[in-house]
Chains A and B, each alone.
Chain A
Amino acid sequence: MKKKNIPAGKKALELVRGNAVPIMFVIICAIFIPMAGFSPSYLLNEIITRMGRNLFLVLCLLFPIMAGMGLNFAMTLGAMGAEIAVILVADWQIWGIPGVVLSMILSIPFSALLGFICGTLQNMAKGREMITSYIINFFINGWYQLIVLYIMGSIIPIIHASIMLPRGYGIRNTVSLLNMRQCLDDLLAVRIGGVKIPVFTFILVGLMCLFIIWFRRTKLGQDMRAVGQDMDVARDAGINVDRTRIISVVMSTVCAGFGMVIYLQNIGNLPTYTGHSQIGMFCIAALLVGGASVEKASIGNAFLGVILFHLMFIVAPGAGAFITGDSMVGEYFRVFLSYGVIALALIMYEAKKRMAKSKAGRELAEAQKEKEAAE
């Protein structure tokens, strides 16, 4: 009702302010694309490939945001779980679609266990979930390296020498997944004018979206949103807050595991020790570029974010070379933008939280004054 009275100019301004980050990225991309000088079909092809590769991973970030736990930097745990599963499946020489499906199934226990650990630790550090998840990331990475580099081959039997380091234990820096490469993407793939569309991967992403929409309406989804709104109120309403939060992290981690298998089958090889290290950062940056914030994110944000972020990612080195004559500048620039957008989103979130808090405080004080005056 009120909105009708707001003039169009002001409305537009509101829209710009609410979507500052996506608009900034649209402008950056618009400037960079001509500079980089890629053909449209190449760009379209790259974007579609990267959408298929990353969307599932980005979508898994939505669950913890729903439960008010912020950006799940520990989605990397799911990626690690999936990598262990993929290594085992590659060792058993199960390839193609069965290999992918088996990897996904096998990743569930690993991811769920890691997610449970992560959720429990985050519950112990309420109010600083994000930094905790960020550190858990590194901590579990240490254990991951211990398992993959020292225990696999010496205690966990690894049959095939081709994926093992020459010294007799530990996994090679890269595990070839050539026989698994793009087998999901090629299933039902459609080519339109030289642009390959991995239909099946998109169907999986679509199913994930439907699942999220459905999940929001279930009892558990509603509980999660209640916990996200206010933990104390939710507790008073009889919701088991800690359990709900752990479930949201476990769901996120397990989905990240599936996402990582999709990601790896697209890439076609597994960088054993570096594959997961940047995943969390890039996925979070992509989601935020799409206009999400720390407490609110939608499926639309994920789609828009992946498109804009990866468009920027593809064209930045070329544009950097065009401006400064050094393609390294462009590479650093895109890393700077990814870090910068995360920093910006976190700052906006905390500033807003503080403003709301002080506003509530002021209102309380005023109410108090009125009450005293009435007395």
Chain B
Amino acid sequence: MSNKKKDYNLNSPSKFTDEMKTIPPARRLTAQEKTQMSPLQAMVASYGLPRLLITGFLLVLFILTPFVDVDLVTQITNIINRFSWNAVLVLAMVPMIHSGCGLNFGLPLAIICGLLGSTLSIQFGFTGPLSFVAAVVIATPFAILLGGGYGLLLNRIKGGEMMIATYVGFSVMSFFCMMWLLLPYSAPTMVYGLSASGLRPTISLDGFYNQVLAGFLEIDFGEIAGKLGISLGALEKLVIPTGSLLVFVLLAFLMWAFLHTKTGTAMTAVGSNPTFARAAGINVDRTRMLSVIMSTWLGAIGILIYQQGFGFIQLYNAPNNLTMPTVAAILIGGASVNKASISNVIIGTILFQGIVTMTPTVMNSAIHMDMSEVIRIIVSQGMILYALTRKVKGSK
């Protein structure tokens, strides 16, 4: 009798083992499995085939550079630069993946918070580096407010986060398309000249916070060589935006530290198995909400850092253009729908931005055919598709 009766008590051992079974197996293989495979197989399995292909492709591009008259050092400078623009945006994916909310296709929402910060900062008359600080300060309450609402929504629709996030992102973005036209902005650098109202699609940041982080402690090898009166050869073209990288390192470290606190561990538990987490006494909804707010805030800061590197604020439909590359980047780094680490962020951003930077120049010089856009689409969407169809128990 007692054997047949199903046990609904969460604390009983049988339920516990049942729940444990649903936790996805770790990606790292056991030692025994490893010995059974050939070394090559083991490497492929632990690194992931798509990631291996992408890395290989990037390596081929690097090897090709001298043969097609492309300057390698300039390319590396570009990759470092682009890394510094995008890394924080990619980092913004981590908390939501950890708490089981899946890939944050609602990134436009976070970007809108950042855009509000940057436009209002300019509107209130801040200039120079101070405008960046003001933008961060102004963006923060918006991120907490909108992120909180977004978190509330996502808590009510567990299981369908990704699709809804996509369309919530779109809706908010198109709503703000109207707002950019209707809100009473008046700063002459931002509005249309003729009607003196409505924000322009692209706003230059010269005189505001253009390169404010990148210029901080910047290491320009060309300049150093000039000062010391020595020749560094090709290395002279290397420029490192130290400030931006330092900010990323700081935020990444904070994220890493947070994930190792009690709350951070709870977040991972919620992502791995909500039922088990609830049984362990974790407030699932609150943890998820926290992760969404964190993600939104990081996204807002991320777009500000992107802007200071890029030198322009892009409004209207522009936020949409960043979603897919960002999601693809973290997946290329080896993250899955419910698992991500800081190293995934770093590796993914370097690989993805490497391909984005290298393909147009190398391809153009090699075969006089610019297929970079098509390759970028296929690589990034293919990566997302691979992650979605992998047999891992996802955000359910």
Residues of A at under 8 Å CB distance from B? 121, 124-125, 127-128, 130-132, 134-136, 138-139, 141-143, 145-146, 149-150, 324, 326, 328-329, 332-333, 335-336, 339-340, 342-343, 346-347, 349-351, 353-354, 364-365, 368
Contacts and interface: CB of A to CB of B under 8 A. Distances in A.
Interface string B1-13: 0000000100000
Given A127-B394, A339-B167, A340-B171, A324 B160 contact: no
Interface stretch (B69-77, B126-134, B224-232, B369-377): B369-377
B163 A125 contact: no
B159 A141 contact: no
Given A121-B389, A135-B385, A329-B182, A349 B160 contact: yes
A347 B377 CA distance: 28
Contacts, number: 120
Contacts of B156: 347, 350-351, 354
A128 B162 contact: yes
Contact of A130 (B157, B163, B377): B163
A138 B177 contact: no
Contacts of A128: 162-163, 388, 394-395
Contacts of A145: 373-374, 377
16 contacts: A128-B388, A131-B166, A135-B388, A138-B324, A139-B385, A145-B377, A324-B181, A336-B174, A339-B171, A340-B171, A340-B175, A346-B160, A347-B153, A350-B158, A354-B158, A364-B8
Contacts of B166: 131, 134
A356 to B, nearest CB: 12
A138 B324 CA distance: 10
B178 interface: yes
B396 interface: yes
B179 to A, nearest CB: 9
Interface residues of B, number: 41
Nearest to A127: B396
Given A131-B388, A347-B164, A336 B374 contact: no
B391 interface: yes
Given A335-B174, A336-B177, A150 B371 contact: yes
B381 interface: yes
Contacts of A329: 178, 181-182
B66 interface: no
A332 B177 CA distance: 6
A347 B157 contact: yes
B181 A346 contact: no
Given A146-B378, A329-B178, A365 B168 contact: no
A277 to B, nearest CB: 12
B170 interface: yes
A142 B8 CA distance: 49
Interface string B179-220: 001100000000000000010000000000000000000000
B384 interface: yes
B48 interface: no
A353 B160 CA distance: 10
B7 to A, nearest CB: 10
A343 B167 contact: yes
A150 B370 CA distance: 10
A142 B177 contact: no
A324 B182 contact: yes
Contacts of A131: 105, 162-163, 166, 388
B170 A141 contact: no
B56 interface: no
Given A131-B162, A131-B388, A351-B157, A326 B181 contact: yes
A138 B162 contact: no
B141 interface: no
A141 B181 contact: no
B171 A135 contact: no
- Most chain A CB within 10 A, of B153, B385, B395, is at B385
A339 B378 contact: no
Given A139-B382, A351-B156, A351-B157, A346 B394 contact: no
Contacts of B395: 128
Given A128-B163, A128-B394, A150 B369 contact: yes
Contacts of A342: 167, 170
